[in-house]
Structure 1
Amino acid sequence: MVRLETRDGRIIRVNLALLERSLVISEMCRFGQDSEGEDFILPLHGIHSGVLLKILLWAEYHKGHEEPAWVAKDGPLPAEEIELQTSDWDKEFLRVEIKNVYDLMEGSNYLDIRWLYKLCAQKLVFHSNREPVAQFSKCSKKIPSSIECQTVFTEQPFEEY
């Protein structure tokens, strides 16, 4: 077990296996654990507890799932490929207010969880093309611009989450 200390000061105790997808946590654990079997605290001051709990929910669902091949690909990805390989659970998970998708994307970027980051980017690109710029730009200062997100994909998704 490991304890995660968030930006808002909350301590969340988590089974370390649940966070195996995070490259940041993997590296922190490699250097941070003093003795086996004991809990230790990882400072995650770049993420709020609410966002971390949502990411942990996502990680719990995907525990033991193989990462889709499109996650590891560099360069633009066909939106249809991502759409076909995205589970209904993930689509429902991201059926939240767009601000929450931004927060999840920021958190997954902070924790270096590429799979969730790319899912959020796809959702944001689709949303940015459907919503007025003024509504979309409220949160856009937090993460890469929609143009940067669009460079991840070669086409627009054909179905909304």
Structure 2
Amino acid sequence: MVLLETSDGRIIRVDFGLLERSAVIRDMCRVSQPDSGKEYAKDDDFILPLHGIRSNVLLKVMLWAEFHKDDEEPAWVQKVAPAPEEVELQTSDWDKEFLRDKIDSVYDLLEAADYLDIRWLFKLCAQKLALHSKRPMISSFKFWLYLQKMPSLVEFKGVATCCRDTA
């Protein structure tokens, strides 16, 4: 078990296997061990500070990870600029429903996935935000702001109509 301390001071106990998709968690577990050459001990409890994530967002990430714990990562996740149609066709109904939330909540998940280095969840959220910015009556200015905050979103620029002049 791993204890994760969030930015709002909550400590959440989680089975390491649940968050093994996160490169950050894997690396932190390796570094946290006294003998740095040894892998983490699955029976040991230790606290990892995740001060870039609030507990409510981390719990949503854990819910997503629990659902996908035995799933193989889709091929489009490794692509630099996956085709929007490919992502849409290979995204499960569960994921679509999971991201059917207020757009600010999706952005919080995107930031958490970026912070934890969970590429699959990051790209799902980025795709949702990019497609959301194309909807009529919705300004693309907000997506443009996201692009400014997170340079890793640049590959989704082509999906969205994200021109600063349209704001």
Q: TM-score, normalised by structure 1?
A: 0.85
Shift, 1:33, TM fit: 3.0
* Aligned twin of 1:119: 124
Select which of 138, 142, 147 maps to 1:144.
147
* Aligned twin of 1:71: 77
Equivalent residues in 2 for 1:23-62, closer than 5 Å: 23-34=23-34, 36=41, 37-62=43-68
Q: Does 1:102 align with 2:97?
A: no
* Aligned twin of 1:6: 6
Q: What residue identity is the alignment partner of 2:44?
A: E
Task: Verify the 8 A CA contact 1:105 1:121 in the aligned structure 2.
Answer: yes
Task: Verify the 8 A CA contact 1:77 1:153 in the aligned structure 2.
Answer: no
CA distance in 1 between partners of 2:144 and 2:149 (Å) = 8
**Farther-moved stretch of structure 1 (54-63 vs 30-39):** 30-39
Q: Tell me the matched-pair count.
A: 152
Shift, 1:145, TM fit: 4.2
Task: Verify the 8 A CA contact 2:57 2:112 in the aligned structure 1.
Answer: yes
Shift, 1:132, TM fit: 2.4
What do residues 98-146 of structure 1 show as CA deviations (whole Å, max 9, x unaligned)?
Answer: 0000000000000000000000000001111114228x62x865x4349
CA distance in 2 between partners of 1:144 and 1:26 (Å) = 27
- Cα distance, 1:150–1:129 mapped onto 2, change above 3 Å: farther
* Aligned twin of 2:95: 90
Q: TM-score, normalised by structure 2?
A: 0.82
Q: Alpha carbon RMSD of aligned pairs, Å?
A: 2.4
Task: Verify the 8 A CA contact 2:7 2:54 in the aligned structure 1.
Answer: yes
Task: Verify the 8 A CA contact 2:130 2:156 in the aligned structure 1.
Answer: no
- Cα distance, 1:57–1:14 mapped onto 2, change above 3 Å: same
The structure number with the bigger radius of gyration is 2
Gaps of 5+ in 1: 157-161
Gaps of 5+ in 2: 35-39, 161-167
Greater relative contact order: 1 or 2 (C-alpha under 8 angstroms, separation 6 or more)? 1
